[in-house]
Structures are given as structure tokens and as C-alpha cells.
Amino acid sequence: MSKDGLPSSVRYVKNGRSGRWWKSAQKNGQIHAGWKNIPDELLLKKDLPAIETLLRGEYGDKPGARQDINQVLNLLDGPSKHLWITFEDDYLWWCTVRDGVAANPDGETAASGHFWLTCSRPWSNTSLNGRLLATSELPGTVTTTKGFRATVCTPKDSEAILRLIKGETDKDAINSADRRKEYQLAVHKIVQRLSPQDFEHLIDLILAGTGWERIAVLGGTREGIDVEAENPAADEIAFVQVKSAAGQDVLDDYVERFKQRRERYARMIFAVHTPRGRLTVPLGLPVQVWTGEKVAELVVRLGLGKWVESRLS
């Protein structure tokens, strides 16, 4: 048991075939299981030797017999020492349970299993720090367990599952993020040294990489360029300004122009690698300000670092 009160061992469980008992398990804070061939008295006494003998006699040398017996033993033999997970409704759910089982007085039904374990911590689809555990955002080594066809198994990447539930970050991931931040700072310095023409070209590359395509040049000056860009997938046209340097007064001027042309433009993008002071936009307007820091972040995210570096090499 770790200092946060969670077991250090993980087990996956499926509440019935295709999760048919999941609703009851979630609502009542339980884990539901079948094996209706095991008499209730053996379950309640937790007579593991007798249960194993019974199952051995029924399964004999059938393929998977040992696996099936081990699944039952995992549920009955000190289940409180495990953290239990399942995958339902596109989330990873987890709970902890008390030792001992209760037999269903109605026997196995469509809504409930033959017996169940009672949760000591109810089913949750959030980590200890409140992050939703959506399967689409989990590592593939974790979600592969979804495909397990039987009832109980030990997940291959239990360490990652515990880390996710505890809200911890992998050490290698932290190190990678730190290195990426350092790289973004280096890219930011280069971006601020780009010529106006190279900066304009870079913004074109970023727009293209995020689904936008330049369709018109509205005007250009020594200080910058104004263009229209279209996103065909979103069916939007954006008013884009590219400036090497600008202050709040310049931004305010372009915001006013944008407000007067709202019938044509869905949004405005104001890209400036060296802002003069802090730039703010009125609340409620779809105006994005891409300062040097934001541009550097997009360069790294879109894999444009080599192009940026080549401008000074």
C-alpha cells in the first residue's frame, strides 16, 4: 500500500460478458462476476481449495482451465490488495474493494452477476488530481487491456496505470518536456531575428500546417503585410496581419478594421514576433495574437525548426 492509500498491484476486471453488469456495478459500488457453477456456500466461506478442486473437476485439461481458475482466485483471495480497473463508456475506471464477497440472492441475472465484491473506493474515471481518464488520451500500452476477452487479468503496463491514476508524470516525459521548452526558447530567439520576409514566410508555413491557406494579399508595407487566409474544412476566412514589431495602438487599429468586416471574416490573427509591451484584445472577439513565444511553440509543434534554423545558417 502506497502513502496515498492505493494498492501497488493492479487487476483488470470485466463486469460480465461485454460489460453487461457494468451499470449495476457502477451504481452500487461493486464488482460483479459470474461462475454460477460455484455453490454460494463455498464463495461465502472463501473455501479456495474446494473451489479450485471443483473447477479442476469441471474443466479438466481443457485449454484455458488454469487461467479461469486463477481469475476466480484473484477475485476471492485478498482482492483488497489490488487496485481494480475496467474500461467502459470510453473511460478507464478504477476502484478498490473490501475482502469477501456477497452472493446474489436472485442468482445470476441479466443485470447482476452471481456474486460481487463491494468497493471501498467507488468506481471513478478521474485521477487523484482530477484528470478525466478518457481512453483517447491514454497510452496505447494501457488501452490494449481493453481487448482482453476473459474476466480478470494483470495489465501489462500496471506501472503506467498507477501513475495515471495517481496523477503522476513519467520521468522520461518530464525530461522530454523540459528539453522541448529549452528548444522553444532557442527557436524564439531565432524567430525574433528573422527578416520581415522570412517571418512572413514562416507565418504562411504555420497557417498551412494548421489548415489555413493564403488566398489574397490585402496590402504590404515595410513594417509588415496583411493577408486573407481560408480554412476550407471549417469554411472560414481569417483576416491575418504579420508584423515584425507592433504595440497596442497598432493592434487596436486592426481590431477596429476587423470589427467593420465581420460579415466576411470569422476571425483575426495578429502575428508579431516582437511586441512593444503587453498586447490585449477585447473580450468576446475571435482575435488571436501570436507573439514570438506562440510562434516558437507552433514552430516546434509543426516540425518547422529546421526551416527556421536554416534562415540564420
pLDDT at 292 over 70: yes
CA dist 175 → 109, 178, 181, 214 (Å): 51, 5, 10, 37
Alpha-carbon distance of 40 to 46, in angstroms, equals 10
Would residue 3 count as lying in a domain?
no
Same domain, 157 and 251: no
Q: Which of 147-156, 231-240, 267-276 has the lowest mean pLDDT?
A: 147-156
| pLDDT tens sequence across 9-19 | 999 999 998 89
Domain with residue 119: its CATH number is 3.10.590
Same domain, 136 and 275: no
* H/E element, 43: helix 40-45
Q: How many domains does the chain have?
A: 2
| pLDDT tens sequence across 102-124 | 999 988 899 999 999 999 999 99
pLDDT at 223 over 60: no
Alpha-carbon distance of 289 to 274, in angstroms, equals 12
pLDDT of amino acid 222: 46
Written as nine digits, the cell of 48 is 479456495
- Which is higher by pLDDT, 148 or 212? 212
Mean pLDDT of 191-204: 93
- Three-class SS state of 292: helix
pTM of the model: 0.62
Domain that holds residue 89: 9-168
Contact predicate 73/43, CB 8 Å: no
Contact predicate 273/291, CB 8 Å: yes
Listed residues 168, 194, 225: the one ending a domain: 168
Written as nine digits, the cell of 34 is 459470474
Q: 307 Cβ partners below 8 Å, 6+ apart?
A: 202, 205
